[in-house]
């Protein structure tokens, strides 16, 4: 084969190898970026979840006589009920509005929120409700909830009594559910906060010694099966810095912490 032709073939092969090398680098970079995007998205989801939980934690603290400036959210009561068709909660407390998990507390307002979650496939646009007090009181509150972004029905209400039952009407059908006081005979928010403070006593003392400001406190009752509830108590610092404890309201056991 002529020398000139051999050199041309050699050059073409070298260029092809370089091109394949560049493609490999670009492909690796794309995969790396894709992986990083997934990691970032996961981190954001975790942070948002933590922020939500932290807001709930502040609720407990208010009942315990904490300095109001430390509490961004607190819960004073939670009534819950459910059936095959709906899950219902009526929560009262106080919360920062809007809530920002930044270690500082803005304006805090009292609230009572009714939440209705359909458990079956449906086309509900709105759900009418009537909340009833004890039979001897003959008290009731009624209204209408509209569907939220994810199919939930939620709204703030004025409720001057302890609810024992709710009637829901959707698409011409009415459903009645009994409501249970989740905290009846159990620890209060203040108790849960005190338990969490003991759990994190060394960390709290260390930050006080360093002259750091008190952390924002956030308390919430959470459940995984709509039957057993736990206090989620969080001490929020700046950025993504937070401590959290899951506490059994029955006996104050710290189920988990971080």
The string of pLDDT tens digits covering residues 184-200 is 999 999 899 899 999 99
What are the backbone angles phi and psi of residue 100, rounded to the nearest 5°? Answer: -135, 120
Distance, CA of 229 to CA of 223 (rounded, Å) = 5
Q: Could you please state the CATH topology (level 3) that the domain comprising 78-181 is classified under.
A: Immunoglobulin-like (2.60.40)
- Could you tell me which of 158, 126, 159, 163 has the C-alpha nearest to residue 145? 126
Q: Are 101 and 56 spatial neighbours (Cβ–Cβ below 8 Å)?
A: no
The string of pLDDT tens digits covering residues 65-101 is 444 478 889 899 999 999 999 999 999 999 998 888 8
How many residues are there in the chain?
A: 258
Domain positions in the chain are 52-62+185-257, 78-181
Question: What pTM was computed for the model?
Answer: 0.71
What's the mean pLDDT in 148-173?
Answer: 95
What's residue 188's pLDDT? Answer: 92
- Could you tell me which of 125, 127, 132, 108 has the C-alpha nearest to residue 116? 127
CB 191: neighbour CB atoms within 10 A?
18
């Amino acid at each position: 084969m002529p020398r000139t032709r051999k050199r041309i073939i050699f050059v073409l092969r070298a260029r092809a190898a370089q091109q394949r090398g560049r493609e490999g680098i670009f492909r690796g970079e794309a995969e790396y970026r894709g992986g990083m995007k997934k990691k970032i998205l996961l981190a954001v989801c975790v942070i948002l979840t933590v922020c939500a939980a932290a807001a709930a934690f502040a609720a407990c603290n208010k009942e315990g006589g904490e300095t109001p400036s430390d509490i961004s959210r607190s819960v004073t009561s939670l009534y819950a009920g459910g059936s095959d068709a709906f899950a219902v909660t009526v929560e009262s407390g106080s919360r920062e509005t809007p809530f920002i998990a930044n270690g500082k507390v803005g304006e805090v307002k009292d609230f009572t929120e009714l939440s209705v979650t359909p458990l079956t496939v449906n086309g509900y646009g709105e759900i009418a409700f009537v909340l009833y007090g004890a039979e001897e009181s003959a008290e009731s509150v009624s209204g209408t909830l509209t569907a939220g972004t994810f199919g939930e029905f939620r709204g703030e209400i004025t409720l001057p009594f302890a609810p024992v039952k709710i009637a829901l009407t959707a698409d011409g059908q009415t459903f009645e559910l009994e409501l249970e006081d989740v905290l009846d005979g159990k620890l209060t928010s203040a108790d849960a906060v005190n338990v969490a403070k003991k759990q994190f006593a060394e960390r709290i003392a260390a930050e006080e010694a360093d002259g750091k400001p008190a952390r924002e406190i956030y308390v919430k009752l959470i459940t995984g099966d709509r039957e057993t509830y736990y206090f989620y108590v969080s001490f929020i610092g700046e950025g993504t810095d937070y401590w959290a404890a899951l506490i059994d309201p029955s006996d104050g056991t710290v189920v988990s912490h971080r």
